[in-house]
Structure 1
Amino acid sequence: MTVLGIETSCDETAAAVVRGADGQGTPPVILSNVIRSQIDEHTEFGGVVPEIAARAHIAVLDRIVAEAMAEAGVGFDEIDAVAATAGPGLIGGVIVGLMTAKAIAMAAGKPLLAINHLEGHALTARLTDDLAFPYLLLLVSGGHTQFLLVKGVGDYERLGSTIDDAIGEAFDKTAKLLGLPYPGGPAVERMAREGNPKRFALPRPLLDRPGLDMSFAGLKTALRNAAEKAQPVDEQTARDLCAGFQRAVSDVLAHRTRTALSLFAERFPDAEKVIVVAGGVAANSEIRAALDDACRTAGARFVAPPHRLCTDNAAMIAWAGIERLEIAARAGEILDDQSVAPRPRWPLDETSASLLGAGKKGAKV
């Protein structure tokens, strides 16, 4: 199976071509993975502006798709399907990518696969590490922070989630509070490298409670209070605040990871204990190190895809399309999602009650 993937859910315009395993020992391969960031467009606003993001996708997506196809060395007649993010995400961007994919699929006479952006993250480790089901997933991004049990393609169970801010959002707000440049996550990490994480006593929210839910809004408030007490905030104070914040987040994730691995071992005593970390925040080196250490302590395997495949990309969307195509082929089914509508909200686990409420657009988490 060879699939063209398109990703436009936030502020990266991406297209990729991925070829699946051939069943005779040849592993899957990413033939191309073109990503165009919109950092320059959003820097002056200190965050992503949805309308600007959608317009930027419109301006470059055709070129990005052409680059991906040329780099892969394939024509539209040589692909088996077109896969595109259909949600969740900024609805303007999702519309641009999904409608473009529908047009390409219809013109080329290929099936269209509507992919959940989060499923792309959830299945990436199967592309990079040939991972077997079941396994744990820690999804940490700008909009999502969740522990999920990945039991199969399309079979996901939410075990715990943030009850307020996602980690990426908390990083961005911390950066903005301290006057650091956009994007906030990398800026906080750079400052933290030269900071003292023990100078400020910041909380580790919810660790006195059972379960896997998390909270980061209170940590962000504690950091603001500490900054106000330390006025004026000089360069070293800012570094120390970043280091303390990053260490607190890492401690929370490591603690919850150990709990999640214990739960996984109870549920699947005969399965290998594995946890996958995915999403943009997974690129943070201290968080990765804390999770790796937690896994070693628990006797578990820690899997983190390459940084380029942790942040938003189209290779993961194409791969999710291949996973679904192969299942359909084995069942003798024909997939084509031309009638699907874009969704701003689309939880992976659609059976569990929403933690943050729901509305006409669907469950928030």
Structure 2
Amino acid sequence: MLETSARLLRLLSLLQAHREWSGAALAERLDVTPRTIRRDVDRLRELGYPVNASPGTGGGYQLGAGAELPPLLLDDDEAVAVAVGLRTAAGQGVDGIGETSVRALAKLEQVLPGRLRRRVSALNAFTVPMLRGPLPSAADPAVLTELANLCRDAERLRFEYRDHEGTPTRRTVEPHRLVCSERRWYLVAWDLDRADWRTFRVDRITPKPPHGPRFAPRTPPAQDLAAYVSQGVSTRVYAAHAVVRLFASVEEAAERISPTAGTLEPDGPDTCILRTGAGSLDVMVIHVMLLGFEFEVLEPAELTEAIGTASGRLARALARSSARAAEPVPRTPDGAGRTPGTPSGPGAAS
């Protein structure tokens, strides 16, 4: 009995992981016969899980939406509460749980009955969150769920994409993963027209169904996709790049430097390496200075020259300001002092 229950849970997990499975593939994964798979599917249906089956050589099993919520998950009110919470966490990128929220939301909405979906949509449509500070362009939870399902099922995605100037383009990609950073979502995908990996901001994506067909997943551009996206949005997108040693631990630096401002790697207990980008070397000087850490430029050499130029300009400005502050205050005929540059005599402002 325990073995059968464990197998049912594994079967349910497999059905949630991919959109459709053949009976032979499920039998191979669970090391049982196709007949056992058919019996286990019947047991899941008895428990309330809506498992659809299509006959023929191209058929298989698919977990679908049913008239009733499967009893082993949640009751109606709990399901609505969880779905609303997951949508809120996904749309606002709650720190540390954003990506998990999207995965869980995709699984829950897959089996959520229509009447409960309408309740969830109403709550989200007529609820206004009060947040601390401005909210960056939030990704639509419905779009996030759609993208997550396409990544899971390895289906091509067609969408309209707006660049930072608002110019739209039509794109066709093979979606791979969603990455969340600071309440902003990014899609890592293989761009078919450009034959290369690209990173897209989800809040700029408008899906244009129908999607498909399915594709064979490619080797991702990096093992650490979070670092890959961070480097893309903080460094590769800019004309000027720099590598700087900061005289602070990587933990201390991470408190001030977000993943969208640069990538950090440890360089000993009290130093770390920052890789970052900017529109120009002059802007890079300001960017590094405003970090608030002592630093050393590792590359490029041109950044050191730009810092020298800025240092000289600042030194001359400081010298002029200091000299002006040291000038004696002019005296008026009655002996009263006035600030240099202040008008005097008839018609002077009082």
Q: Is the structural similarity TM-score above 0.5?
A: no
Q: TM-score range by the shorter chain?
A: under 0.3
Task: Give TM-score, length-normalised by structure 1.
Answer: 0.24
More helix by share: 1
Larger radius of gyration: 2
